């Protein structure tokens, strides 16, 4: 148990020693860097004082101020171009969003047209089935009417035969004719006629109803066919509009990508030209950092840089800004 605790304590002590050693190394490097920078600042102060005392100091200052002004003007012009490009990009983005919204609306209309077409097809199929059923029903009723006619003809023939045989039997008797027998025959004939008339009227009524239903089914069928044709025409128009919108969308996307590439190339060219000049560059991190340094304006001038920067042409690569020293003097 004691050995384990001693091992853990030794390990923790070793880690703390490593951390302290690392911190000491970093502090030593930091102090060396600070000392080096202080020496460079002293050298640059001496050079600035000597440059101020020399007669060529004013011409040197005017030269670099002119170059700095030219660079600021170039940066201002590039930033204005960037603002214009961003405005065009925003306009293109809004236009693309409008096109997308229109495409979505057209897609919704197309889906609605497809639904209407599907419903029309279902109604057309139902009308076809109803028409087939009506045709079958009409054929069945015609067969029933033919059967009724045949039965009626058979019954009529049987009655005629019975009447004829009854007449012959009456002639064979010489006695007075019985009054009730002809009356019964007449009543039977009248009943049969009434039944026949009722059957005929019922058949006519059913036939008229079937004809009316058939006419209505034909009208519904023609209406469904016309609706189907109109839906197909509307679907074709919507497909053409959708194809045109897709082509326009592709053109807009290509134009946006091309403009973005041009803007990017101009920005890279400007950055390359900025890095190759012989002037003070107190800003870094892109055009947006430059905008922040200017105070948020497109046509303003950046304030004089304070602090360290890169000075090319004065004999030193890093150090204090000679511009700051001159302004302070």
Weakest-pLDDT range from 51-65, 113-127, 271-285: 271-285
Which pLDDT does position 38 carry in this prediction?
A: 93
- The CATH class of 82-278 is mainly alpha
pLDDT in tens, 246-259: 888 888 888 888 88
Which comes out higher in pLDDT, residue 121 or 228?
121
Judge whether residue 21 has pLDDT over 70. yes
Helices and strands (DSSP H and E) totals, the chain: 5, 2
Determine the Cα–Cα distance for residues 323 and 317; give it in Å rounded to an integer.
15
pLDDT in tens, 222-242: 887 787 788 778 888 888 888
Kindly report, as residue ranges, where domains of CATH 1.10.287 are found in the chain.
82-278
Q: What is the DSSP string of 265-325?
A: HHHHHHHHHHHTSSS-----SSHHHHHHHHTS-SS--PPPP-SEE---SSS-SSEE-HHHH
| pTM, 2 dp | 0.28
On average, the pLDDT of the chain sits at 75
Q: Based on the number of CB atoms within 10 Å of its own CB, is 248 exposed (0-12), middle (13-18) or buried (19 or more)? A: middle
Which pLDDT does position 196 carry in this prediction?
A: 80
C-beta of residue 214 within 8 angstroms of C-beta of residue 134: yes
Judge whether residue 313 has pLDDT over 60. no
Q: How confident is the model at residue 75 (pLDDT cuts 50, 70, 90)?
A: very high
Which pLDDT does position 234 carry in this prediction?
A: 80
Determine the Cα–Cα distance for residues 120 and 98; give it in Å rounded to an integer.
32
- Selection from 278, 315, 327, 280 nearest residue 46 by Cα: 315
Q: How confident is the model at residue 287 (pLDDT cuts 50, 70, 90)?
A: very low
Judge whether residue 184 has pLDDT over 50. yes
Which pLDDT does position 264 carry in this prediction?
A: 84
Mean pLDDT over residues 113-140, rounded? 88
pLDDT in tens, 194-220: 888 787 788 788 778 878 877 887 787
pLDDT in tens, 146-182: 888 888 788 878 777 877 776 676 566 444 444 445 5
Which pLDDT does position 269 carry in this prediction?
A: 81
Which pLDDT does position 78 carry in this prediction?
A: 92
């Amino acid at each position: 148990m004691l050995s384990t605790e001693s091992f853990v304590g030794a390990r923790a002590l070793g880690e703390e020693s490593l951390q302290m050693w690392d911190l000491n190394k970093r502090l030593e490097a930091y102090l060396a860097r600070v000392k080096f920078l202080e020496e460079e600042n002293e050298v640059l102060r001496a050079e600035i004082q000597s440059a101020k005392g020399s007669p060529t100091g004013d011409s040197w200052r005017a030269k670099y101020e002119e170059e700095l002004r030219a660079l600021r003007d170039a940066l201002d012009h590039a930033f204005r171009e960037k603002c214009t490009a961003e405005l065009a990009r925003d306009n293109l983005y809004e236009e693309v969003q409008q096109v997308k919204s229109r495409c979505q609306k057209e897609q919704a209309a197309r889906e609605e047209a497809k639904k209407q077409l599907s419903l029309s097809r279902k109604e057309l199929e139902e009308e076809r089935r109803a028409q087939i059923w009506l045709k079958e029903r009409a054929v069945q009723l015609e067969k029933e009417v033919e059967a009724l006619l045949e039965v009626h003809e058979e019954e009529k023939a049987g009655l005629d035969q019975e009447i004829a045989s009854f007449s012959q039997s009456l002639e064979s008797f010489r006695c007075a004719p019985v009054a009730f027998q002809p009356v019964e025959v007449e009543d039977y004939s009248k009943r049969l006629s009434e039944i026949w008339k009722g059957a005929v009227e019922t058949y006519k009524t059913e036939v008229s109803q079937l004809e009316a239903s058939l006419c209505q089914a034909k009208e519904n069928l023609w209406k469904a066919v016309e609706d189907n044709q109109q839906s197909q025409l509307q679907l074709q128009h919507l497909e053409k509009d959708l194809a045109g919108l897709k082509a326009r969308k592709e053109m807009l996307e290509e134009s946006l990508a091309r403009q973005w590439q041009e803007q990017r190339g101009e920005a890279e060219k400007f950055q390359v030209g900025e890095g190759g000049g012989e002037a003070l560059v107190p800003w870094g991190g892109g055009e947006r950092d430059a905008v922040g340094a200017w105070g948020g304006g497109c046509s303003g001038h950046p304030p004089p840089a304070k602090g360290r920067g890169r000075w090319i042409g004065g004999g030193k690569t890093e150090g204090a800004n000679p511009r700051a020293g001159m302004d302070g003097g």
